[in-house]
Amino acid sequence: MMPLTWLLPWDFSPTVLVCCGSLVLLFNRGVRLLAARGTATSRWRQFSFYLGMVLIYIPLQTRYDYYAQHMFWMHRLQHFLLHDFASFLVALAVPWPLLGAGLPAGLHAPLRRLWESRAVRSLYAVATQPLIAFVLFVGLIYLWLWPSVHFRAMLSLQEYKAMNWSVAVDGLLFWSLILDPRSREEGALALLTMVPETIIGAYLSLHTGIVYTVYAVCGRLWPIDAITDQQLGGLIVWIPASMMCSAAALIVLRRWMYHDDRVRRLAARAAAVARPAAAAAAPALELPALAAE
C-alpha cells in the first residue's frame, strides 16, 4: 500500500478534521501573536503540542482506523494514543493560553461569557475534581473493555465513534489537570491510576481464555491467534499506559522540587538584603545613648 493511500481517511469525519485543524491553527496563531509582543514560546512546547495533535489525528482519520477495527492489539494501541500518549503531549504543552491568544478578537467576549456561565463552570468544576477525574479516566477504560459493551461498540459505527471521542476528550481533561503547572497533589493521582490499569492489563495478558470474540466476527487482518492478539493488547494496557502515569508523577515531583528550591532562594535573597539594612540601622540606634553619656 502506498504511503499516501495509508494516510487517507478510512471513515472520513469532518468533525475530527475541523477540531484538529482548528486547534492547530489557533495554537500557531497564538504563538505568532505572542512572539510579536515579545513573548516567545519554547520549541519543545510547540513540538509537544504538534506531535500530540498528529498522534490524535492518525488513529482517527487514516487507514490505521481500519486496522484498529480488526485487531485487538491495534485497537488498544489506538486508545493508548488517544487516551494516554497523545493527550499527554498536548497537555504537557499547556496550550490553553496560546489557544486563547489565537482566537479572533470578535470571539473573545462571547466565549468568555460562555466560559463564565454557571452551567459551564459547574460542569468544569465537577469534571476536574480529582476523585471524579480519576473515576472517569479509569472508568472509561473498564467500560469500553467490558466484553459485552466492547462487542456492541465494535459492531456499531455510532458507538465506535462515541468510544473513540470519549477516550480522547477524557484524556485531554485528565492530563491537563495532572500537568497543570499549578498542580501539586495531582502527582499522587497519576500514580494511583497505575493500579487499575495494571490489574486489567495483567488479566488480559495472562488470561488463557478468549475474552473478546468480536474480532472473529470482524475478521482478523493477519494470521494471528486470538489469545496472542488479546495478550498483546493486554501488554499495551499494562506497560505503556502505566509508564505514562509514572512520567506524569515524575514531572509533578520535579515541579515541586523546583518550586521549593525557588522559594528557598527567594527567602535567602530577601534575608541577604535585609542584613545590610539592619547593620546600617544599628549605629543610628546607639547614637542617643552615646550622646546621653
Locate the domains of the chain by residue range. 8-104+122-269
pLDDT per residue as tens digits for the range 91-110: 999 999 999 989 988 888 88
- Given a cut of 60, is residue 291 above it in pLDDT? no
C-alpha cell at 136: 472517569
Q: What is the pLDDT of residue 9?
A: 82
Q: What is the pLDDT of residue 31?
A: 95
- Given a cut of 60, is residue 281 above it in pLDDT? no
Q: In angstroms, rounded to a whole number, what is the distance separating the alpha carbons of residues 121 and 147?
A: 35
> In this structure, which amino acid lies at residue 80?
F
Other Cβ atoms closer than 10 A to 79: 24
Task: Please give the share of the chain, as a percent, with pLDDT higher than 70.
Answer: 86
Q: What is the pLDDT of residue 186?
A: 67
Contact 59, 65 (CB under 8 A): yes
| 265 CB-contact burial (10 Å; exposed 0-12 / middle 13-18 / buried 19+) | exposed
- The region of weakest confidence among 3-12, 42-51, 101-110 is 3-12
> In this structure, which amino acid lies at residue 220?
R
Q: What is the mean pLDDT of the chain?
A: 86
pLDDT per residue as tens digits for the range 109-119: 888 888 888 88
Give the end-to-end CA distance of the chain in Å, rounded to a whole number: 102
pLDDT per residue as tens digits for the range 220-254: 888 889 999 999 999 999 999 888 888 888 887 77
- Given a cut of 80, is residue 3 above it in pLDDT? no
- Label residue 281 left, alpha or beta by phi (over 0 means left) and psi (-120 to 50 means alpha): alpha
Q: Band of the pLDDT at 183, cuts 50, 70, 90?
A: low
Average pLDDT over residues 33-58: 94
Q: Band of the pLDDT at 185, cuts 50, 70, 90?
A: low
Q: What is the pLDDT of residue 293?
A: 39
Name the one residue in this structure whose C-alpha cell is 503547572: 181
Q: What is the pLDDT of residue 119?
A: 87
Dihedral sign from CA coordinates of 28, 31, 34, 36: negative
- Helical H segments across the chain, by residue range: 3-7, 14-36, 43-61, 64-68, 72-80, 86-92, 96-102, 105-115, 118-127, 130-145, 147-155, 157-178, 186-192, 194-206, 214-218, 226-292
Average pLDDT over residues 2-26: 86
Average pLDDT over residues 200-221: 91
Query: 83, 188, 187: which is closest to 138 by C-alpha?
Result: 83
Q: What is the pLDDT of residue 184?
A: 63
Q: Band of the pLDDT at 192, cuts 50, 70, 90?
A: confident
Q: Which residues contact 213 (CB under 8 A, 6 or more apart)?
A: 151, 226
Q: What is the pLDDT of residue 105?
A: 85
